[in-house]
Amino acid sequence: MAKERLDKILASTGKWSRREAKELARRGLVSVDGAAIRSVEEKFDPETAEISVNGQALCYRRYTWIMLNKPAGYLSATEDGRGATVLDLLPRELQRQALFPVGRLDKDTEGLLLLTNEGGLAHALLSPKRHVDKVYYVRTAGRLTEEDCRAFAAGMSLEDGLQCLPARLEILTAEEVSEAHVTLREGKFHQVKRMLAAREKPVLYLERIRMGGLPLDPELSRGAFRFLTEEEIEELRALV
């Protein structure tokens, strides 16, 4: 891989800003291949250089994968003149990494959103051919019924022409406001809302809680993010 400035390499981990990286190096806390490096302008190949900060080996990754617990009010876009995007929830150093959301959640939908700069894997995960399960927690106006479950399982044909793949509706509570889990194997525009509107049970609240084998981390508060672990990224690779 091409050589990069030391501050850029450190900042790409999201742990430090470039300014902080410079300060760490100035204090002699950054070493490369065993030697302290005090100038962050020096360039190294991040894939082969053994970089450590304060005695801890740096785990460099070519691509960044982030799990965000999306709050309502943010657009799943990289930039949008009309309002805040999910990238606004990340620190500046990460905003510089050309990250983009893996698929879209509506502005008012909350929960699990992945962001990455690894285009190949992201697009493979989104490909309609892959059928990666997405699970949503939903609250609807109106009492959900077994008939609704059967309609989801049969593959709904919506009035607007959308032919849906068979999906799973698992009722958690069936009251005037009902709760359920919905599992889709595709991700068409407003799909959960459109399917439930067709059953005359409009969505009041929607949250994505799982993508493939990856659940929304319960430790992540709304608006918070974390890096995916190596194992989680491998699991995503295994899906495609």
Tell me the catalytic residues. 106
Distance from C-alpha of 70 to C-alpha of 75, rounded to nearest angstrom: 9
Rg value, the chain, Cα: 22
Q: Are 136 and 184 in contact, with CB atoms under 8 Å apart?
A: yes
Q: Which of 212, 205, 214 shows the shortest CA–CA distance to 180?
A: 205
C-alpha separations of 98 from 77, 117, 152 in Å: 12, 6, 37
Q: Which is nearer to ligand URA, 90 or 112 (CB)?
A: 112
Q: At residue 238, what are phi and psi to the nearest 5 degrees?
A: -65, -25
Q: What is the smallest separation between the CB atom of 32 and ligand URA, expressed in angstroms?
A: 44
Residue 181, SS3?
strand
Q: Which is nearer to ligand URA, 94 or 184 (CB)?
A: 184
Distance from C-alpha of 108 to C-alpha of 110, rounded to nearest angstrom: 7
Q: Are 99 and 138 in contact, with CB atoms under 8 Å apart?
A: no
Q: Which is nearer to ligand URA, 109 or 178 (CB)?
A: 109
Using CB under 6 A as the criterion, which residues of the chain lie in contact with ligand URA when the complex forms? 105-106, 109, 190-193, 206
Q: Which of 154, 134, 132 shows the shortest CA–CA distance to 199?
A: 154
Q: Which is nearer to ligand URA, 49 or 149 (CB)?
A: 149
